[in-house]
Each structure stands twice: as C-alpha cells, then as structure tokens.
C-alpha cells in the first residue's frame, strides 16, 4: 500500500486546521479535572457514533456479564427475519428457568414482540429461552448464532453459552465488547425503541424497565441491567445529548447507578463532536496518465464525526490504493482511505473514492501523443 502524508497538501492542511480549530475552541469542550473513579472491576466509556474509547479500565478483560447478555439475545432475534407479531407457544422447559422471570406458563401463546419486551424490561430468563427456541429452532442453535454475531461485531473476548446470562462455563464478555454490542443495538431501530421504553403492558402483564437511568439521567436511551451473585452488578447504558451519543459499560460494579452518571457526565462535559469530513467533500487531487484529463478529484465516501477535547492532537494520513493512477477510472471507485489519529491512536478511517469518470484518451498512431501526455501530467 502506498502511503502519502497529507502535510504537503494545501487542501488537506486546510481541513486539518479547521478540525484542530474546532477541537480547541472554547465552545467545543469544557475543561475537566479527569475521568471519575468507579467501583467497577471493568469499565469503558465509548462514543456511540465513532467507537472512540473516551475512558477505560480493564476494558478487555473477560468477565461474567449476567443479564446484559440479553442485548445479544434481542439483537439476534430481531435480525432473524421473524415477524414481531408472530405467535410464540411457550415450551415447558422455558418455564423452569431460574432467576428473574416473566412467569410464562407452559403452552401459553404470546407474541414475539411481547417476549422481547419481557426480555429487555423485566429481564425474563424464561422469555429469553422462549425467544431462542422460536427464532433459532433450539436454544443451542440460537446460541450458535449469538456467537456468530459476536465474531461479526469484533467481540474477540466474548463467548455465549445461553441466551439469558445465567452463570455457565464458557459464558463471558468484556466491557469493551459489550460496548461494541451496544452500538449495534442502538443501530437496530426496533431494539433501540424497546431498550428506551420505561414501561409497557404485554398480554395483561405490566412491565417496568429495570434501568433506573431512564428516569434519573437526562438523555438516557437504554440499555440493560444485569445481576448474578457471581457476576455482581452489570450495566450497559447510553445517553444522547448535544448531537453526541455515549455508551457506558461497567462489570461487577456495586455502585453502578452513581458510576454511570459520573461517567456520562464526564463524557458530555469534556468532549464535543467534531465533523472530520463530510460525504462528497473533496480531500485531494491526483494526476492521471493516459487521459486528456490531467487530474482526478478524490472525495470522502462517508461523513465521519468523533468527540474531541481541548488536549486532543489530530493527525491525518492519506493511504492510496495505487501509487500512480492510469485511466480509465470510474466515479465511486475506491481510491484509498484517509486515516485520522487522535493522540497517535487511530480514531477513524474514511474510505476515499474518485469523484468523476476519467476515460482513457484515444491515441492517434505514433508515440508523440504519448510523450505529450507524459509532459502534461508532470
């Protein structure tokens, strides 16, 4: 791969200066004394849009996770293709689940949507098993899909053994992995709606969300609580303020409500979202050989924003797919990527594409035309 620093490109320098100016502007971020301490064994605070980690402690250490497992259960169920209005007949084995329960009865008929509300609000272990049996054909098959989804999301320190989070050998995750899962859950419109619901009535059952932050924290939009004696208290929360969504995860935290409030407050007071580049924005021009058009414009294929604070240092680098370009080129074709690093760590990678078609020139006989084009493109 051919690498080219953007520091020698006036257009990119202008973009960098604009971003850096925005990053250090007084309105962009409020000064903070530092991230708050927590009681958690593992913790992470992540930007929901970019995935940038704003604070972490033992974030990649595998631990028991209890009922926040059900975020994966709900996501896999909603991506299974089953209609939410489908009727689910509850199997007897589901009703024997230990722990928190929707108190389902053998043979009871309930909608898949109702079960998912029971999974997310009441944290029903019986409901999670019923969802798994219905959407996976069997609990074992469904758990396999949960692990496939974990691999797809890059949850490298996670493995699921059941859909409800009860303690089991080979059932674990990390704070960082659960934040990745939370990002995916928030991108699923149906799941995001359920996770943000404070209360609902399902087949005569009044369900109240266990997540107290929905009432206590301004802008809270979910997501899930958990507890077993071995795992301790686990919590995944998310809040949205000022165009920025933050995700907090704590594992084995006896004071999770206070800690999540402090973590989210720290994130919103210290960081502000800055647009690094916008879809369709020109970032460079590159010479092209073999065409009457001497240059092709390169543009960003995505809009990318990340949270920044006053102390952050932003650096750019362009990485080209090809060292030299030769016609023909097609609009929208891959040109490379623009890597943004914050304080030396990669924070975003923006795909770059050609802005327009560049056709190959029809050359008359003889070599003089080729020579003229070479001189023109220098």
Q: Give the lowest-confidence range in 21-30, 116-125, 155-164, 278-287.
A: 21-30
Catalytic residue among 67, 100, 158, 174: 67
- What is the biggest distance separating any 2 CA atoms in the chain, rounded to whole angstroms? 86
Give me the pLDDT at residue 376, please: 59
In Å, how far from its chain's centre is CA 225? 19
Give me the pLDDT at residue 116, please: 98
Give the pair of three-digit tokens for residue 41.
């064994």
- Under the banding of pLDDT at 50, 70 and 90, the label for residue 8 is very low
Catalytic residue among 123, 173, 237, 291: 123
Q: Which residue has the tokens 């999670």?
A: 128
Kindly tell me if the per-residue pLDDT of 10 is higher than 50. no
Q: What's the rounded Cα separation, in Å, for the pair 107 and 367? A: 83
- Are the beta carbons of 287 and 295 closer than 8 angstroms? yes
Q: Give the domains, in start order, of the chain with CATH numbers.
A: 2-24+276-376 (2.60.410.10), 42-270 (3.40.710.10)
DSSP β-bridge partners for residue 304: 277
Catalytic residue among 42, 50, 70, 158: 70
Give the pair of three-digit tokens for residue 124.
């029903």
Is residue 67 annotated as a catalytic residue, yes or no? yes
The better pLDDT of the pair 1, 125 is held by: 125
Kindly tell me if the per-residue pLDDT of 71 is higher than 90. yes
The pTM (predicted TM-score) of the whole model is 0.84
Q: Which residue has the tokens 């469904």?
A: 142
Kindly tell me if the per-residue pLDDT of 30 is higher than 50. no
Kindly tell me if the per-residue pLDDT of 143 is higher than 90. yes
- Under the banding of pLDDT at 50, 70 and 90, the label for residue 372 is low
- Are the beta carbons of 183 and 48 closer than 8 angstroms? yes
- Supply φ then ψ for residue 117, to 5 degrees: -65, -35
Q: Cβ-count burial of 324 within 10 angstroms (0-12 exposed, 13-18 middle, 19+ buried)?
A: exposed
Q: What's the rounded Cα separation, in Å, for the pair 293 and 118? A: 62
Kindly tell me if the per-residue pLDDT of 27 is higher than 60. no
Closest by Cα among 265, 175, 143, 289 to 216: 265
DSSP β-bridge partners for residue 225: 235
DSSP string, 35-96: PPP-S-SEEEEEETTT--EEEEESTT--B--GGGGHHHHHHHHHTTT--TT-EEEPPGGGGG
CA dihedral 68, 69, 73, 76 (to 10 degrees): 100
Is residue 123 annotated as a catalytic residue, yes or no? yes
Q: Cβ-count burial of 24 within 10 angstroms (0-12 exposed, 13-18 middle, 19+ buried)?
A: middle
Helix %, strand %, coil % for the chain, to 5?
30, 30, 40
206-224 residue pLDDT tens = 999 999 999 999 999 999 9
């Amino acid at each position: 791969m051919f690498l080219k620093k953007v520091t020698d490109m006036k257009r990119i320098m202008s973009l960098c200066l604009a971003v850096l100016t925005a990053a250090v502007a007084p309105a962009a971020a409020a000064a903070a004394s530092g991230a708050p301490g927590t009681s958690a064994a593992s913790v992470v605070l992540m930007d929901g849009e970019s995935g940038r980690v704003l604070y972490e402690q033992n974030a990649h250490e595998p631990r028991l996770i209890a009922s926040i497992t059900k975020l994966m259960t709900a996501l896999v169920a909603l991506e299974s293709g089953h209609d939410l209005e489908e009727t689910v007949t509850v199997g007897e084995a589901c009703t024997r689940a230990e722990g928190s329960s929707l108190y389902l009865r053998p043979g009871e008929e309930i909608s898949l949507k109702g079960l998912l509300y029971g999974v997310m609000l009441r944290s029903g272990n019986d409901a999670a098993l019923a969802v798994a049996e219905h959407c996976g054909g069997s609990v074992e098959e469904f758990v396999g899909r949960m692990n496939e989804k974990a691999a797809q999301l890059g949850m490298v320190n996670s493995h699921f053994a059941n859909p409800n989070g009860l303690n089991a050998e080979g059932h674990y995750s990390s704070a960082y992995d659960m934040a990745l899962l939370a990002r995916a859950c928030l991108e699923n419109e149906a799941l995001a709606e359920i996770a943000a619901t404070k209360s609902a009535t399902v087949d005569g059952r009044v369900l109240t969300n266990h997540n107290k932050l929905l009432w206590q924290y301004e802008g809270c939009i979910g997501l899930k609580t958990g507890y077993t004696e071995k795992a301790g208290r686990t919590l995944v929360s998310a809040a949205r303020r000022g165009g920025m969504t933050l995700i907090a995860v704590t594992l084995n935290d006896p004071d999770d409500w206070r800690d999540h409030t402090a973590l989210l407050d720290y994130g919103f007071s210290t960081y502000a979202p800055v647009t690094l580049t916008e879809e369709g924005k020109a970032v460079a021009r590159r010479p092209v050989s073999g065409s009457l058009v001497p240059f092709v414009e390169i543009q960003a294929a995505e809009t990318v924003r990340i949270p920044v604070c006053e102390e952050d240092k932003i650096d750019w680098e362009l990485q080209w797919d090809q060292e030299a370009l030769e016609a023909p080129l097609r609009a929208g074709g891959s040109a490379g990527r623009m890597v943004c690093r914050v304080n030396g760590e990669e924070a975003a990678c923006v795909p770059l594409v050609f802005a327009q078609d560049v056709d190959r020139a029809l050359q008359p006989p003889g070599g003089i035309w080729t020579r003229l084009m070479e001189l023109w493109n220098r």
